[in-house]
Structure 1
Amino acid sequence: MKSLISKLLTHSAVLLLMSSSALAIESNSQSYIESFAQETTNNQFYAENSNKTLYRFMVSFKDENLSMSLVNNEELRRKNSGSGVSFSYKGQVHTRDINDFKTDQSFKSEIKRLFGYEVQFHSFFNDIHIITVATTDRAPLNKVADNLFSTGYFNYVEEDQYITLQSKGDEGDVGGMSVLNPSSFNDPVYPEQIHFAKQSSGYYGAASIEAAIDLMSRHGVFNTNDKVNVHVIDSGFIEHEDVQYAEYMDIKYTYDYDEGDDGVIWLNGSQDPSRPDYAIYESCSNRSNNGYGYLQNEPTAEQAAEYDWIRYETDGTAIKSSHGLNAASIIGATSNNNIGIAGIIPQDNVNLVSALAVDDCGGYSSFNLMAMYWSIGELELPAFYSAGFNETLTPKTQYPADVINMSFGSEGWYCSVDQSGSTGALAEFAKMASDRGVVLIVSAGNSRYHMSDGSVAGCPYFVSVGAVTEWGNPTNFTNYGTGIDLMALGSSVRAATATKTLEALETDYSGVSGTSFSGPIVAGLAGLIKLYDKTLTGEEVRNIMKSGARDLTVGANGGDTSCAVIGCGAGAVNFENTMRILLGGEILTQPKASHYLANNLSREDSSFLSKAQEFNKNMCTTYRMDGYLLNDRFADIRYRFYGSNDGEKYELINSYNKGSFLFDNTYAYYRLRGCNTAEGVCSDIRDVEIDDSFTPGICI
């Protein structure tokens, strides 16, 4: 059976015989190479196809030789070099020859013959080619993808979507909170960090972080030199007195091959210098090549004559947005330094890493995927693509990720293109990363729509996070549905901020809103779990976090909430519950009690009448308790039930072998705990919620 390259060359022979250029190829290969080197650049391609519909895809070829031939020719166009030049990829050396150039032209000719599409190759990493397809028939994207896939050349064809960061305007300020121990952290803004507070009924934006950290401290988790590596793939790092980075990386400006690949951009310095961001691009609609924002190539003579331009080396630094700083600070800001806020993971136990893949206006999904591969130490580039670091070495992170936090939402980027169940670039990476123990956290998005399991945030192996208010209600912007795993505070989350210009840097702290800031809270929990046990897979960590979450589908009166209708995953993230599961399984669900007749509303119920006599002959104070341990790790469980009239001094009322029992409601306050009597290990004592919404009429 002929290879795909052989088929392409056989078909191209007919085409080439009909052109004078074909004769030049056969008689003088070097002249062909030189002419090909002057062939369409990316900017020329866009200009020549400006009247056509353009789609950008990530594709993977089945034929490795075809793939390498196309890499050869893309490099030829980029560097304008001739045949005989070698490059390495995955430890193998590839040398350009005339067949590479023939194959490139033959492949494009074949696609044009079949569908009328023009194809341009941009870049290549981890067996993934980035291409643009121009079509004159205005066919929808899915149709173009299906047509390409039907040729048999590709493992998958997946849109390279331009995606944006997921932040929203602040939903309002918050007041101080009531914490277990107000002196736990001396950071001035800490009392406003709602997510650290004790989670309780109707206050589910709080995540009991302080209680979990206290529990982990008592178990000695922080007493080692172990560190967890948390990567934030976002808008880049900004220097800040309260946030310390171990490493940072620039993907967007270094590897955007359409507009330069050196990590250098050119900022428009002709704007009003009295404005704080005068040298920074102004709007997403003016983000490139129009004289108003920034350029990634050196300005042309015409542009230079019209505006003043400032050369700027990004070096992984955010240009305008402090979005990445916001997210990183929630996870790992320095705690107990009398400055700003407290981070979730203690600074001595975390390596915080920044990867710049998007800016204030967004970035291609391929940039984010490249950053993901870099974050786990598996980025594979042809040697000549590593311009920003070394012409012979692919950049490697010093701190391979245990957790990756991403805030680009789910709009438009799917796990795979629906083509006979083909696995796409994202799903392929996600499974590999999760199997290696990497926890992938992604914000659900702020479009207020139902997320399916197929979107990025609903992709298998990703932990998708929606946003709730401090009271536990879904925010007015969060996405929801079957693709959600967990919910976390996403309204007025306190974070480190900064205003950056070319001349000054002003740091501060403020409330930020959006699922972009719910995600880092869950990433902080994932980091704490991985700090305790590095052997857990990403999927195991996700399941542990979901097991510890507080269900949001049932309201205080027992009725359905909005989450029961729209879908909020496992519910509100709860650090304390999760850590109790992880550290020994002694987690007791929130115990609740209500009148025995609250659910059956039948005062004459024979079972009630007989049971009630054991407690109170007038039956008005007979209540049912419901509370249980989340798992069965305790072999011999007894539930100890305590009562108090002043809320301070409690006495043991009784002990039971089940968490559901009847009692005489004669105390003002109650508590419950579960104990393994054989080992003498108990859960923490939990306050019992008393529901007095129903009382028999005879008792009123």
Structure 2
Amino acid sequence: MVLLFTTGFVSGYGQTNENVPGQNSSYHYYYFKNKLPLELNVFKVALLQRSVPGMSVSHGKFKKYGIQDTDIDSWPIPGWALAKIPATARSVQGARGLVLQIAEEKTADFVSPLFNDHKGNRIIITQHIFVGFNPGTTPERVKKIIAKYNSLTIEQQDYSNMSSVYKLRSSARSGIMVLNVANSLAELSEVRFAEPAVIFEGKGKVIPNEPDFSNCWGIHNTGQSGGTNDMDMDGPEAWDLTTGDSSVIVAIIDTGVQQNHPDINQIAGVDVTSDGGNGGPVNSYDNHGTAVAGCVSATISNGIGTVGIAPNCRIVSIRTFISIDSQGGWTTDTRWTVDALEWAENNGVRITNNSNYYGFTSGLIESKYQQTRNNEMIHFACAGNDSSSSISYPASLTSVNAIAALNRNGSLASFSNYGNGLAFSAPGANIYSTDRTGNDGYGNGDYAWVNGTSFASPYVAGIAGLILSSDPNLSAGSVEQILQQSSEDLGTPEYDTTYGWGFVNAFNAITQICDSPTAPTGIFASDGTYIDKISINWDSVLEATGYEIWRNTNSDSGSASKIADDDLSPYDDYSVIPSDTYYYWVKSANDCGTSDFSSSDTGWRSVPADTTPPNPNPMAWETEPYETGDSAISMVAEPASDSSPPVYYQFDFFDSPTGGTGGS
């Protein structure tokens, strides 16, 4: 049994019960089985009052803790607010004590310490816990484990369609207690991950740039403004083959995309945050997503603005983050990323782009990314803008392709992250993209010049859209392989951690796409024509570069064995037994794969002719002895046992029993 402790306070927030979890050790949470530190913010605490939308006014409820109404600022997520901790309690023990006293006295519906990640982004613990159990853990066993924690109830099994992932709710009113229980669960051998649902901050940072250039060098580089000629993604060359298909949708997981933008090809969006919007921006800072979307599907040949790399594909905005400042900062809930991925999966989206980097790593988010990748979704995310040799989260996940930014000369942009796990590089410096129209957005116009890996990532997502437009049946792995094989190598040969697999190229990618050939027709196997082989013939297939010959002793192709590869028809099979019947199939092949089985035909090898003379039975003389002067000699011979008619006999005559002279 895990006991949850509450405590009273004699005087001051620094006096706490010694049994309160975490008092004598630093705070942490578990990312799977890895313990990650949490830095306690001693200046503010987070308060939740569900009945008060913003809590900008508390009507004196918290004065007894030294918190005035003017010390409380609303948080963008309804019901939440941050309260300043009185100066006399600004210590680890003081902050902890304040949280526990507010929880015990039920002054707020819920209260959480405010934590900071390693970049200073703020984290708030909520009342929910997500637990991923090991495969094979039965629901009955899960219920027994959860029953040991008096504060927990199961709200949902197989959360977000993830097997053995449970959503739990704690009755505790303190984030300290919720964190303690989550950590306790995470340490169990039957648990893959356990973590509290948190509200956290991150960045979708844009580095604005004045409109000094007149065209999109990343798509078509003519050497403008000091760039390197043809150092681009070969957009126009790719568009000769395809500009994308409207059935291919790229999800933009971001701060919202302007839904009525005249130059973005999109379908109606969705908002998975607490704001309940329609996928478009909600506040004046929600600018990032609109610029990201333009890199994918800004419309072609409409006489205005810019163009995306996949202009006839469409994007869908899934607003997942609430912007909180003009520098790209936002807040979100762990569940919102999971909800965004689930919405995309349920609505047939194959490609997602997340041009944001989080200050919080989550087993729940990682599991959802991996599950959807296993289900053939392809994910892209920005590597980060810290000039760092480590990839930001969630781009650092193995299920996500991390994208670095290049400048117009093909070098890594000065701000771009790089390092182990980097997948590809794409244009990300001085990018001309869509902005919110009118006075909203980064400037007063409808377009903006921006820098950041945030814009390199959607370019690669757009090329993935062109690939799926050319062949919608490709697997996620095949799309990624095409991107790898078609990228221009910029660094050391093959893969390196500065450029990944290289500079993505739309034209190269599309020309690498081909279909597996069709199955051959006209299959014919010889029927006894040859004494040493069976000859298999078929009609050639135009797109094939070779053929596979398959054989069985019955008509089941599923148990047939491949006996040979061949370039042309016919193929001669010398490994057969005379008179036995064999079934043959042929598959055509090229670099993209092999065809289905052809129809079958049977063949057999004839029995070779017997060239050994027959062995006659003993002769019988009709009359003997034979005397000199007899007119005839009659001989009778029985047919040889190893002969077939006609049989010819040779008779030899000699003048003595032992031979001598004579004739036949």
Match of 1:446 among 385, 396, 399: 385
Equivalent residue, structure 1, for 2:320: 357
C-alpha displacement of 1:334:
1.5
Name the counterpart of 1:376: 345
- The change in CA–CA distance for 1:501 and 1:151 in structure 2 (over 3 A counts) is farther
Q: Compute the displacement of 1:580 (Å).
A: 2.2
Equivalent residue for 2:451?
Answer: 513
Q: CA 1:314–1:534 in 2, change beyond 3 Å: closer, same or farther?
A: closer
Q: Does 1:229 align with 2:249?
A: yes
Q: CA deviation at 1:576?
A: 1.9
Unaligned runs of 5+ in 1: 1-6, 13-36, 70-98, 112-118, 177-190, 255-262, 264-312, 378-396, 415-423, 555-559, 586-632, 636-678, 680-700
- Residue 242 of structure 1 aligns with which residue? 263
Distance 2:508 2:250 in 1: 22
| Residue deviations 1:409-462 (CA, integer Å, cap 9, x gap) | 255326xxxxxxxxx33343233322332211111111222226x942121221
Q: 1:251 aligns with which of 265, 272, 286?
A: 272
**Structure 2 residue 213 is matched with structure 1 residue 175:** yes
Opposite residue 344 of structure 2, the aligned amino acid is S
Which protein has greater RCO, CA pairs closer than 8 Å, 6+ apart? 1
Describe how 1:278-357 pairs up with structure 2 within 5 A.
Answer: 316-320=280-284, 321-347=286-312, 350-357=313-320
Q: Which residue of 1 aligns with 2:632?
A: none
Asked if the contact 2:269/2:278 (under 8 Å) is kept, the reply is: no
AA matched with 1:107:
Y
CA distance in 1, matches of 2:419, 2:211: 28
Secondary structure, aligned partner of 1:458: coil
Q: Which residue is equivalent to 1:207?
A: 233
Tell me the amino acid that sits aligned with residue 305 of structure 2: G
Report the residue type matching 2:319 in the other structure. Answer: L
Query: Which residue identity does 1:252 align to in structure 2?
Result: T
Do the aligned residues in 2 keep the contact of 1:465 with 1:487 (CA within 8 Å)?
Answer: yes
Aligned with residue 60 of structure 1, among 131, 135, 153: 131
In structure 2, the CA distance between the partners of 1:51 and 1:364, relative to structure 1 (3 Å rule), is: closer
Distance 2:425 2:357 in 1: 14
Q: Deviations over 1:146-204 (max 9, x none)?
A: 5331245744124647243433323565534xxxxxxxxxxxxxx34532337999567
Q: Distance in 2 between matches of 1:482 and 1:551?
A: 17
Partner of 1:467: 405
Does structure 1 retain, via aligned residues, the 8 Å contact 2:113–2:175?
no
Computing the radius of gyration from Cα coordinates, the structure with the larger value is 2
Q: CA offsets, 1:24-67, max 9 Å, x none?
A: xxxxxxxxxxxxx99xx986856764568664676225477689
Alignment-mate amino acid for residue 461 of structure 1: S
Partners of 2:169 and 2:396 lie apart in 1 by 26
Change (3 A) 1:401 1:52: closer
If the length of structure 1 is used for normalisation, what is the TM-score? 0.48
Q: CA, structure 1 residues 434+329, in 2 after alignment: closer, same or farther (shift >3 Å)?
A: same
Segments of structure 2 that go 5 or more residues without pairing to the other structure are 5-49, 52-77, 81-101, 116-123, 325-329, 517-543, 547-589, 591-664
Cα displacement string for residues 657-688 of structure 1 (whole angstroms, at most 9, x for unaligned residues):
xxxxxxxxxxxxxxxxxxxxxx9xxxxxxxxx
The reply to whether residue 544 of structure 1 matches residue 482 of structure 2 is: yes
Please tell me the root mean square deviation across aligned C-alpha atoms, in Å: 4.7
Matched to 1:404, the amino acid is: T
TM-score after normalising by structure 2: 0.51
Q: 1:107 aligns with which of 141, 144, 149?
A: 149
Mark the CA change 1:500 to 1:58 in structure 2 (over 3 Å): closer, same or farther.
farther
- 1:283 alignment partner in structure 2: none
Normalized per residue, the structure richer in strand is 2
Contact 2:261 2:437 in 1 (8 A): no
- Tell me: CA distance 1:48–1:227, structure 2 relative to 1, closer, same or farther (3 Å): closer
Question: For residues 150 and 131 of structure 1, do their structure 2 counterparts lie closer, same or farther at Cα, with a shift above 3 Å needed?
Answer: same
CA contact (8 A) 1:199 1:207 kept: no
AA aligned opposite 1:166: G
- The match for 2:376 among 418, 433, 437 is 437
Aligned-partner residue type, residue 477 of structure 2: E
Other-structure match for 2:656? none
Of all paired residues, the percent bearing the same amino acid is 20
Q: Tell me how many residue pairs correspond in the alignment.
A: 395
Contact 2:204–2:454 under 8 Å retained in 1: yes
The answer (yes or no) to whether the contact 1:439–1:538 under 8 Å persists in 2 is yes
Closer, same or farther: CA 107–486 of 1 in aligned 2, 3 Å: same
Q: Structure 1 CA distance, aligned partners of 2:386 and 2:261?
A: 31
Structure 2 residue 477 is the aligned partner of structure 1 residue 477: no
Deviations 1:609-637 (Å, cap 9, x if unpaired)?
xxxxxxxxxxxxxxxxxxxxxxxx989xx
Tell me which protein shows more helix as a share of its residues. 1
2:250 and 2:349 in contact (8 A); partners too: yes
The aligned amino acid for 1:430 is: Y
Q: Secondary structure at the match of 1:170?
A: strand
